[in-house]
Chains A and B, each alone.
Chain A
C-alpha cells in the first residue's frame, strides 16, 4: 500500500527485521508519531522514515513526536539521526534523567570507545549531544500518569498516555544502570544494555474514538508496583479506553504477556501485532499458540527465519572445521510491515502486509 493515508484516516504501521522494530502512526492530517527505530544494514535509513518519505510526506513538517521506548539496540538504531535531522520532541524514560544514567552517558562520551558498532546508549548520548548543541530541541522524560497532546486539527488532539515506568520500575532500573558504571582504571569496553526492560515505556495513544496500545518490551513482574500488573491498575484508575490494536509486548514472549492486558485493556478480538527477535528465539511456537487463542487478528512482521550468511567456499571450508559454518546469520537484511488503516470515525480496521509480514495462524 504505497498510497498515503487520507487526512481523516488513521494508520498504524509496524516494521520488524528480526533484530529490530519500529512504528509509524498517522494520527490524521499528515501528522505522524514515531516509536523507536530500526534499519536495514544496506542503507541504514530508519524504516519508518523511508516509508513516510515514500508516501510523499515532508519529514520536517509531518513528524510531530518520537518515542524511544527503551535503550536496547533493537529499538534505537538510527534514532539520534532522526532527532538531529528534525526539530521534534523525543520522549525517553525518566530513568535516563537520573544521576546514574547521566554519569554513564558522561563517562562513555568522554571515553569515546572506538568501535564500528552502535549501541542504545550511544544513540541516547548522541541525542543528548544534539540537545547540548541546540537548546531549543526538546526531550520529554516519560513516567506513568503523564501525557502529551499532539494536535490533529484545531480543537482535536491525539492523547498520548505514558503507562510506565512506575516509580518501582525506575528504582529497579537505576540500580541496574549503576552497576554498569565502569570503575576507574579498569579496562574499558563498549557499553552493554541490561537485559531486563524495567524502564520501558508502554504507551496508549487515543485518536478520536479509538485507542491503540503499544507494549514495547514491557514484561510482567512479581511485584504489583512494576510491569504489566502496575500498568493495568493505572489503566483502571485513570478510566482509560480499551484498545482495538495492540503492539504485542516483548516479541510475544510469555513474560511480556498477562491476562490483564487481554481482559482489561483490549477490546474483544483485537488486532495484535508482534515483531520477532531471533537471538532470543522469540516468538516460540507456544507463544504463537497462546496469542492466536486470544485473537483471530494476530500478525507478525516476520521474517519467519534468519538469513544464513553466504561465504566464499574457502571461508566455508575453514568455518566448517570449527563448526561455525551454520552459526552465522545475516541480520537486518529483510523486513516486514503490517499496516492497519481506518477512517477516524469507522469501527473496523483494514489490514495489509508488506515484505516478510504474515498472519499468525
Chain B
C-alpha cells in the first residue's frame, strides 16, 4: 500500500499495490496524537501518521477489509526509527495472574532459527493489553529513535497485528463441515 501525500496536506490517499486509490483519509483523523501503521501482506509499513483511536481503526477495517491498521506506540511524527532487529511473534501461553505471556518469535530473515521468550504486560502499550491472548500475532522491533532534538533513544516496540474483522459466509462454513463429515463417514477404528 502506498500513501500519496505528506502530513502537511489536509488528507491522505491510500493506494493498493496496483496503484488504485482505495480510500481518502482526512489528516485531522487523529493526526499528531499518535501514529498508525497501515499494513497489508505486501507492504508492511508505509506511513507514520493518521488515526490512532480504536473506533477509527475499526471503522477503517470494516470499510476496507484488506487494510490492516495497527496503532503504533512509539515513533512520533517526523522522528525517525532505525530498526536493528525485528521478530514476528505468536503468543503461545498467557499467565494472567503473573501478567506475563510466552511467545514463539522468529526473525524472518533467519527462518531456520526459532526462539521463545516471555514478556510482561508492562512491556506493551496499555491500550493493547486486551489483545494479549493465545494465538495473537505481533511484531517486535528494537532499534533507535532519533528524536526531534537530535538525541538517540533505545526503543522496543510491540505491535499487535489487527487483522480485519472477518465475515465468512455461514453457508460456506456449513458446506465445508458437511464435506468433512461425509469424508469421515467410513472412518472407524477397527476392533
Write the residues of chain A forming the contact surface with B, with a CB cutoff of 8 angstroms: 19, 41-43, 73, 91, 97, 99, 102-103, 105-107, 109-111, 113-117, 119, 128, 131-132, 135, 138-143, 146-149, 162, 182, 184-193, 195, 278-279, 309, 311, 314-315, 317-319, 321-322, 324, 327-332
Contacts and interface: CB of A to CB of B under 8 A. Distances in A.
B118 A185 contact: no
A305 B50 CA distance: 46
Contact of B156 (A147, A278, A318, A330): A318
A146 B191 contact: yes
A279 B118 CA distance: 9
Contact of B135 (A99, A102, A190): A190
A174 B8 CA distance: 55
A142 B91 CA distance: 30
B30 interface: no
Interface string B118-156: 110001000000000111110000111000000000111
Contacts of A188: 163-166
| Chain A CB within 10 Å, residue with most, of B134, B167, B189 | B189
Interface in B52-103: 61, 84-85, 88, 90-93, 102
B189 A184 contact: no
A105 B180 contact: yes
A142 B118 CA distance: 35
A119 B136 CA distance: 12
Given A41-B114, A116-B106, A324-B156, 13 more contacts: A73-B92, A102-B181, A106-B180, A107-B168, A132-B179, A141-B188, A141-B189, A187-B61, A188-B165, A189-B161, A190-B135, A192-B134, A279-B93
B41 interface: yes
B105 interface: yes
Contacts of B168: 107, 110-111, 184
Contact of A106 (B84, B105, B176): B176
Contacts of A190: 90, 135-137
B133 A187 contact: no
B187 A185 contact: no
A107 B135 CA distance: 15
28 contacts: A41-B112, A99-B177, A102-B180, A102-B181, A106-B177, A106-B180, A115-B90, A115-B137, A116-B111, A117-B104, A117-B137, A128-B183, A132-B180, A139-B184, A147-B191, A184-B166, A187-B164, A187-B166, A189-B137, A189-B161, A192-B92, A192-B133, A317-B154, A327-B118, A328-B105, A330-B113, A330-B115, A331-B115
A102 B108 contact: no
B116 interface: yes
Nearest to A43: B112
B28 interface: no
> Which bracket fits the contact residues of B?
35 or more
Nearest to B175: A106
B112 A42 contact: yes
A311 to B, nearest CB: 8
A131 B167 CA distance: 27
Contact of B115 (A107, A185, A309): A309
A43 B114 CA distance: 12
A43 B112 CA distance: 7
Contacts of B135: 119, 189-192
A188 B41 CA distance: 15
A315 B85 contact: yes
B165 A185 contact: yes
Contact of B163 (A91, A107, A135, A189): A189
Contacts of A324: 117, 119, 156
A184 B190 CA distance: 38
A64 to B, nearest CB: 14
Nearest to B108: A116
Contact of A147 (B155, B177, B189): B189
B106 to A, nearest CB: 6
A187 B177 contact: no
Nearest to A319: B142
A41 B136 CA distance: 22
Nearest to A115: B137
